[in-house]
Structure 1
Amino acid sequence: MSFSVQKAPSPVEAPLDASVAVDKKSTLEIQPAATNASPVRQKWYQWFSPTDTPEERRLIMKLDGLILVFVFLAYWAKVLDSSATSTAYVSGMKEDLRLYGNQLNYLNTVYMVGFITMQIPLTLVMTRLPINYFLPTADLLWGVFTLAQYKVSNVYQLYALRFFVGALGGFFFPAVQWYLGSWYKRSELSRRGAIFFIASQVGGMSSGYIQAGAYATLNGKHGIEGWRWLYIICFACTVPIALFGLLVLPSTPDRCNSKILTAREIQLAQDRMAVEHREPRKAITLLKFKKTLSGWHFWILIGFAFFFSQADGVSSNSGLPLWLKAEGYSVESINTITTVSPAVTIVASLICGILSDAYDAKVWLIAITALLNIFACIVLAVWKVPLGLKFSAFFLSGSADGIAAIIYAWANEICSHDAEERALVISSMNTIGNTFGAWLPLL
C-alpha cells in the first residue's frame, strides 16, 4: 500500500475551521494515497508484505494464532457431524430407530432447511453482537444439539435436533468470511480464507477413519450403541474448541476489548482497516437493506456464487465412489481412492490463495480453474475414454473448490465500505449457492 504523508499545517496555513485539529501525539498523519491504490504485495513465498512494519508483523502473527486456529478447528469439527448421520445410518441407527422408508432423505432435508433459512438472519445478528462471544457460544450450542442426538429414541426427535444443528452450523462459513474481512487486508485475505476452507477437506478425509475407529472400539461400551458414540465424539471435539474461542477470540477492531491484544495493537488494527477503507459496524436500517438489494454488488456476487456452487458438482455428488462401487472396487480401495479429490482441493485452495494474495490474480485463477473443470466435465460426459484419463478427470474436478477463498475475499474487498452490506452479501452468496446445490443436481 502506498501512502501520502500529510504534514501538520503551519500557523500561516492553519485552516479556518476550528474542528480540524492536529494530532497531539504526532505531527504526521498517515493516510492512504488514493482510494484505489493497490497494496504492496508479498512474493508468493513470503507471509508478510514488504511494507509491513515489525509491529504489524507481530500483530498479524497474533491474529493468525487467535483467529485462524479457532475457525479451522471449529470448521473441521462441523464436517465430522455432517458425515456422522450417514455413517450412523449404516452403523445401526436404521435398525434401532426403524428407518425403513425415506427418513434419511427427510433428515437431510430438515438439516438443509435449518442450514439455509438461518444463514442470513444469524449472520446479521452476529454483526450486532460481540462476535468473540457469539461465534464460540453458537459453536457450543451446536455441540449440545449434536450430543443430544445420541439420546434419541425415535426419528421425530432426530428431525427437530437436525434442524437446530443445521441452523447453528450453517451460518458459520459466511460468518467467518465476514470476520476475516474485518481483520485482514485484501493482500492477506485469500490465504487465510483458503486455510479456513481446507478444514472442511481435512475433516472429510479424517472423518471416515475417526468414525470407523470409534465404531470398532466403542460399540456397546457402557451399553451405548456404536452409532450413538459418533455423536458423543463430535461433541467431545467441539467443547474444547468452543472454550478456546471464548478465551482467545478478539471481536472486530472497531469494538475490540481483547484480553490478549494490547491497546496499541487494537489501534494498529483499526488503522490497517482504515487504509483498506473497511468501515466499522453501523446500525442496520430498512434503507440500508433497500440500498444493498438495489445495488450491483449484491446481484453480481450472488450470480457469481450461484455458478461457483454448482461447479463442484462432480466431486460433491459422489460420482467417483458410485462409479468405483459399480466397477467392483473393494470398500478399502474406495475409501483410499476417494481421498485424492479432497487432497486436490487442498492443494488447489492453497495455490489459489497464495497466488491471489501475491499477484492479485483472481480473474486468471478463476478462469484457469473453470477451464480445467470444463475439460474434466467433457471427459466424464464422453465417458468412453481410457481409464487413466477418467480417473484424472474425477481427480481434476476436485480443483473446483480451490477458488472458494478467492470469491469470498473478493466480496469482502468489493463491499469494504459497508460492514452490514458485507454481511448481507456474503451470507446471501452462501445461502443461494447451498439452496440451488440442494436440488439442482437432481435434474
Structure 2
Amino acid sequence: MATKTLAYQPGHETASDGDVESVSKPVDLHEAIKPTWKGRIWDTFDLPRDERRLLFKVDALILTFASLGYFLKNLDQSNINNAFLSGMQEDLGMYGNELVTAVSIWTVGYVIGQIPSNLLLTRVSPRYVIPALEFGWGIATLGSYGVKSYKALYALRFLVGLFESGFYPGIHYLLGGWYTPREIGKRAMIFWLAGSLGSMFSGFLQAAAYTNLSGVHGLAGWRWLFIIDAIITLPIALFGFFFLPGLPLQDKKEWWLTEEENELAIARLKRIGRAGRRPWTRARIKELFSTWHIYILPLQYVIWNNGGIQQPMGYYLKSFNKKPAPVPGRHYTVPQINNLPLVATGIFIVVSLFYAWLSDGPLKGRRWPFMYIGAFFLLGIAIPLRIIPLYENIEAHFALYWLTSAASGAGPLILAWINEINQHDTEKRALLVAMGNDLAYVVQAVGPNFYWKTT
C-alpha cells in the first residue's frame, strides 16, 4: 500500500478538525515532482531552493542528533556486558544470576517508559523531552561507575532503561512531524543504521577504554567504562536542548529557522494532511480503539521484529572448536569468531539503504513490498539451512548465514508507514509507533528463553 504524498494547491483549502487545513484537490507529489538522477540520490535536489535550504538545516540537526544519540543509546545499553567481563563480576560478587537480573531490570524500565514518553511528546516539545531522556540515562550511566553492590547496580540499570525507552520511538515520531512520504524512509533508515553501527563498535570502544584506563586514579577498568560512556553521552544531550527541533504544527518556531522557513515547514505538512495536536476526550479515546490500526499495525511490527533468523554464525564457528572436533583440522580463533559474522553487517547496511532509497523513490512511497521481500527471503534462507547437514558444505553455510541479514531492512519502513497512515491523528501516530516498538521488545526479551536457547 502506498501512502499518497499530497501537493498543495492554492485556493483549495477548507477548515478541518484540529490545527490542520485539508486540501480538497490533492496531487501525489511522487507524480508532481519528476525526479532527476540527482534527486534519485538525495530527494532535496528536486525541490525548490528555499525548500532545499530548509531540509538541509533540518537534516543536519535532526539526523546528527538522532544518529549520535542512538549510537550512544546502544553503547550505554550494552556496556554492562563489557563491564561484567572486565572485572565487575568479581568486584560486586556477581557469581549467580545477577547479570541476567540486571539486564531484565533494564528491560522492565525500557518497556514501562515507551508509550508514556511518546504520548508526552504530543504535549511537550520533543526539543525538551528527548534530550532530557538522554541526559537522564547519561547521569544514570555515570552513577554506575561508583556502585558498591549489585543491588545499587539494579536501581541504576532500571533508570537507564526507563530513560532510554523513549528515544527510539520518539525520534520516529519526530521524523513523522517533519518529513513527507518521499523523504521519511531514507531518514528513518539512516537513523536506525546508526544504532546498528553503535552495537558493532561498542566492544571496540569499551575494550580500548578498559585497556588504557584500568587503574588510573585507583579505579578499576570496568568503572572507567561507565565514566567514558557518560562523558560522551552528556554533551550530545546538551546539544539536543539547543538544536533539536520541536514539531512545526504545534511548537514555537526554532531559533535557527527564519519566519519564512518556519511557514514553509508548516505548509509542507499541511499539504500532505499531517495533523497537529487535538485534545483528549472520551470520544477520541473510543474512536482510537475502534480503528483497525491499533490492533494490526503494532502486530505487524512485532512479527517483523521477531520473525528473523537469530544471527547464528558466531555460535556455528565456535562449535568447530568442541572436543571431539566435528570437522577434524578445522578450527576458528576468537578474532575469526568475532570478525567473520561482520560480513553480514556490511550486507545488512547496503541492502537496508537500497530498500529505503527504492521505497522513497521509484516505488513512490510504498513500504509493503519490503515486508514481503523480507519474509520470502527468510524462507529461502531458512529452508536450505534446515536441509543441509550442519558440518557439510561449510562454505554454503557461510553464504547463507551472511545473507540472513539482507531480509532485515524493513523495520524503519514499517514505522514510517505507521507515521504516514496515521498522519491525520498525531496522538494515534505517537501511540502506535511506541506500541509497535514496545511490544516487539517484550516478545524479543521473553521469546528467546523458549525458542532460541543456546545450550
Query: Does the TM-score normalized on the shorter chain lie above 0.5?
Result: yes
Q: Which residue of 1 aligns with 2:25?
A: 33
Cα contact 1:190–1:356 (8 A) shared by 2: yes
Given candidates 186, 191, 197, the residue that maps to 1:191 is: 186
Structure 1 residues 168 and 35 mapped into 2: Cα distance closer, same or farther (>3 Å)?
farther
CA distance in 1, matches of 2:336, 2:28: 52
In the TM superposition, what whole-angstrom CA distance separates every residue of 1:227-253 from its partner, at most 9, and x where no partner exists? Answer: 111111110111121111111111100
Residue matched to 2:339: 336
Tell me by how many angstroms 1:327 deviates: 1.8
Contact 2:344 2:405 in 1 (8 A): yes
Map 1:98-113; keep pairs closer than 5 Å: 98-113=93-108
CA 1:420–1:365: 2 relative to 1, 3 Å:
same
CA distance in 2, matches of 1:30, 1:167: 38
CA distance in 2, matches of 1:278, 1:337: 45
Tell me, in whole angstroms, the C-alpha distance in 2 between the residues paired with 1:393 and 1:289. Answer: 47
**Aligned AA for 2:235?**
P
**Aligned-residue offset at 1:82:** 2.0
Specify the alignment match of 2:315 in structure 1: 322
2:278 is the alignment partner of 1:282 = yes
Cα displacement (A) at 1:64? 0.2
- Asked if 1:357 corresponds to 2:360, the answer is yes
Residue 260 (structure 2) aligns with = 264
The whole-number CA distance in structure 2 between the counterparts of 1:30 and 1:426 is: 24
TM-score with structure 2 length normalisation?
0.88
Q: SS in structure 2 opposite 1:33? A: coil
Between the aligned partners of 1:39 and 1:250, the Cα distance in structure 2 is 30
- The residue number in structure 2 matching 1:305 is 301
Shift of 1:216: 1.0
Which residue identity is paired with 1:48? D
Q: Which residue number corresponds to residue 139 of structure 2?
A: 144
Between the two proteins, the alignment pairs up a number of residues equal to 422
- Kindly state the Cα deviation for residue 257 of structure 1 after the two structures are TM-superposed: 2.7
Maintained 8 Å contact 2:109/2:159: yes
* SS of equivalent residue, structure 2 residue 11: strand
Alignment equivalent of 1:404, drawn from 411, 414, 419:
411
User: Does the 8 Å CA contact 1:6/1:31 hold for their aligned counterparts?
Assistant: no
CA spacing shift, 1:312–1:283, aligned 2, 3 Å: same
Contact kept? 2:133, 2:166, Cα under 8 Å: no
Q: 1:346 aligns with which of 337, 345, 349?
A: 349
Aligned residue identity for 2:171: V
Letter of the 2:263 counterpart: Q
Unaligned runs of 5+ in 2: 1-5, 16-20, 322-331, 451-455
2:373 paired with 1:368: yes
Shift in CA distance, 274/39, structure 1 to aligned 2, threshold 3 Å: farther
2:401 alignment partner in structure 1: 394
Distance between the aligned counterparts of 1:32 and 1:77, measured in 2? Answer: 44
Which secondary structure state, in structure 1, belongs to the residue aligned with residue 278 of structure 2? Answer: coil
What letter is aligned with 2:333? S
Structure 1 runs of 4+ with >6 Å offset: none
Question: Does the 8 A contact of 1:279 with 1:418 survive in 2?
Answer: yes
- Take 1:7 and 1:383, find their aligned partners in 2: how far apart are those partners? 62
In structure 1, distance between residues paired with 2:118 and 2:69: 16
Does 2:177 correspond to 1:182? yes
Rounded to whole Å, the distance in 2 between the matches of 1:220 and 1:273 is 54
Task: Give the Cα–Cα distance (whole angstroms) in 2 for the partners of residues 356 and 229 of structure 1.
Answer: 43
Amino acid aligned to 1:312: G
**How far off its partner does 1:442 sit?**
2.2
Report how far residue 193 of structure 1 moved: 0.1
Q: Deviations over 1:277-303 (max 9, x none)?
A: 000122233433332222111111012
Report the alpha carbon displacement of residue 36 of structure 1 after superposing the two structures with TM: 7.0
Which residue in the other structure is 1:26 paired with? none
Residue in 2 that maps onto 1:223: 218
Give TM-score scaled by structure 1 length: 0.90
CA distance in 2, matches of 1:273, 1:427: 21
Partner of residue 195, structure 2 = 200
Residue of structure 2 in register with 1:82 after alignment: 77
Q: Once structures 1 and 2 are overlaid, which stretch shifts more, 363-372 or 418-427?
A: 363-372
Deviation at 1:51, TM superposition (A): 5.8
1:38–1:158: structure 2 CA closer, same or farther, 3 Å change rule?
A: same
Kindly indicate whether the alpha-carbon contact (under 8 Å) linking 1:349 and 1:404 is maintained by their aligned counterparts in 2. Answer: no
Give, as a single letter, the amino acid of the residue that structure 2 aligns with 1:124. Answer: L
Find the counterpart in structure 2 of residue 65 from structure 1: 60
Shift of 1:382: 2.9
- Per-residue deviation at 1:88? 0.9
Structure 2 Cα separation of the partners of residues 7 and 92 of structure 1: 67
Deviates more, 1:201-210 or 1:29-38: 29-38
TM-aligned CA deviation for residue 313 of structure 1? 4.2
Of residues 406, 416, 419 in structure 1, which corresponds to 2:423?
A: 416
Could you tell me which runs of 5 or more consecutive residues in structure 1 were left unpaired when the two chains were aligned.
9-18, 20-28
Q: Please list the CA deviations of residues 336-387 of structure 1 after superposition, one character each: whole Å capped at 9, or x if unmatched.
A: 1132232222212211111110023422222222222222222333351521
| CA-based RMSD | 2.3
**CA–CA distance in structure 1, aligned partners of residues 12 and 303 of structure 2:** 49
**Residues 148-193 of structure 1: CA deviation (Å, up to 9, x unaligned):** 1111111111111111101111221111100000000011000000
Match of 2:324 in 1: none
Aligned identity (percent) is 34
